[in-house]
Amino acid sequence: MKRQLINLFLGVAVVWAVSSCDIRDNKDVNPADSFLRIYDSHQFDHAIGPVDVAQTSENGYLLLGNYRRDDTDFLGTYIASTDENGHFIRNTYMRDNNVHPVGEFLMLGGQHYFVSMDAVSLQAYLNHVDDSARVVSTIGIGVTYPMFAKNDGDDQFVLLSYNSVDRTTEVSVVNVDGTILQQSAFGIGAGQEVEEPIIDHFTRTGRELPFFAGRMENGTYYANGFYNYTLSLLFTDLSDNSPRGVVQGQQDQGGISALLPLNGDNFALSRFNYGDQFASSMATLNTSGTTSANDINSHPMLEWVVDGKVKITSLELNSSVYTLIATTAKSQQIVLHFYDNTGAYVGVDYLGFSSPYQLGAIRVTADNGLAILGSTQVAGKFQRMCLFKKSEAELSAIVQ
C-alpha cells in the first residue's frame, strides 16, 4: 500500500511539473518549439541519469541514459523515445551485459548509434538504435573501457577508451562495421593510484571525469584522457604513440572539462582546478608543445557546481554565430552562457524551478532551437531525466 501511494504521488508530481510549463495557452505557438518534460519510470527505485539526446527523422527525440543495476558494478543502459513535442513513446532498459553507455549519439549512414561496454569482457559495443528506442544490432569493437565517442564524418567516429592491460589511453577512428581504421595509445604512467580514478569513473564509486575526443578542421585529433600520470588534453595526428601537443592538468584534480574548436588554435573551453571552475569563450592553445591548463587565460565561474558536466556548442542566431557554454549552477538550475564570435559575453539563461536540475547534454535541433537533456529530483528524492526545448526565437531574444 505504501509503495502504491508513493508511486501515485510521483505520477502526480511529474504530471504537474510537465503541465505547469506547457505553453499551449498561447495558440500562436507551436508546442514543439518550447517545452519541459519530465519522464517517470515504472522502476520505482531507479535513479536515471542523462547521457545524451538526439533528434529522430520525424523530429522526435532519442534519450540515452544510465541507471544503477544490482547485478554489476557498472551502470545499466537506458534508451527512450519521444515525439516532437517531447511526449514519451517508449523506453528500453537493457538487462544483459550491455552497460556503461557513453555520449555522444552517433549518426552513421543516416542511422543512430551509441557506444557502450560489456560488463564481463569490458569490450566496447557499437549499438544501432532505431527511432523507437529499440536496439537493432550490437557489434563488438576491439577496445576496452570506452569513454567517449564522436562523429568524424558521415561514416566513422572517434572513440576514446582505456586499455587496462597496457595501461594506455587509446584514441581510435572506427567505422560503422566496428573496424578500427587508425589508433594511437598513450601511456598513463605506472602505479595503481594512477588507474584508480579511471576505474572509479566507470563504476561511479568516484567522480565522473570529463573524458572527450574529436577532430579539428585541420585534421588534428584531440582527446581528454590520462597521460603521464595526469588528466591531459592531447593533440595527435594518430601517426604514432607520442602526442604532438599536451595541455597538462593536475593529476585527476585539474584539467580541461569541455572543449569546442573554433578556428586555427582557438578554442572555447572550461577547466577545473581543485574544485574551482573556469571558462573561456576564446582561448589560444599550443597544440604542438607542452603547457599547463592552469596557465590558460580564463574567467572564474563562481556560480558553477563542483564537478558538474559542462557542454559547449555553437549556433547561428540572427545571421551571427554564437558560442554556448552550459552547466549546472549552485542554485541547482541549468545555466546557459552565450558569447558572440569575438568572445564577448552577451547573455545568460537559467532553466529549472521548484526542484533541482542538473545538465546532461545539449543538442542544436533541426529548427535551430536547442534540446537540453538533464535530470531532476521529483519530490526531492526520485532522480528522473528531463528534456527542455528552447525555440530559435527564445534563444535570439537572449543574445539581443
pLDDT in tens, 298-315: 999 999 999 999 999 999
> Are 160 and 178 a contacting pair, CB within 8 Å?
no
Across the chain, what does the average pLDDT equal?
Answer: 92
CB proximity list for 151: less than 8 A, separation 6 or greater? 104, 106, 107, 108, 157, 158
> Are 142 and 126 a contacting pair, CB within 8 Å?
no
Mean pLDDT of 179-206: 94
CB proximity list for 241: less than 8 A, separation 6 or greater? 168, 184, 185, 186, 187
In angstroms, the Cα distances linking 38 to 164, 218, 357, 367 are 38, 40, 11, 22
SS3 347: strand
Degrees, nearest 5: CA angle 287-289-291: 95
Q: What is the pLDDT of residues 140-182, one digit of tens each?
A: 999 999 999 999 999 999 999 999 999 999 999 999 999 999 9
| Residue 360 pLDDT greater than 80, yes or no | yes
- d(CA 14, CA 376) in angstroms, rounded, equals 11
- d(CA 392, CA 367) in angstroms, rounded, equals 7
**pLDDT value at position 5?**
31
CB proximity list for 231: less than 8 A, separation 6 or greater? 209, 224, 225, 249, 250, 251, 252, 254, 255
More confident residue, 281 or 6: 281
SS3 319: coil
> Are 272 and 330 a contacting pair, CB within 8 Å?
no
| Residue 331 pLDDT greater than 60, yes or no | yes
Q: What is the pLDDT of residues 14-72, one digit of tens each?
A: 433 333 344 344 556 688 999 999 998 777 677 899 999 999 999 999 999 999 999 99
**pLDDT value at position 28?**
64
| Residue 134 pLDDT greater than 80, yes or no | yes
Quote the DSSP letter at residue 329: B
| Residue 353 pLDDT greater than 90, yes or no | no
| Residue 375 pLDDT greater than 90, yes or no | yes
**pLDDT value at position 27?**
53
| Residue 133 pLDDT greater than 80, yes or no | yes
Mean pLDDT of 121-136: 97
What pTM was computed for the model?
0.92
Report the candidate in 20, 52, 59, 26 with the shortest Cα–Cα distance to residue 38: 20
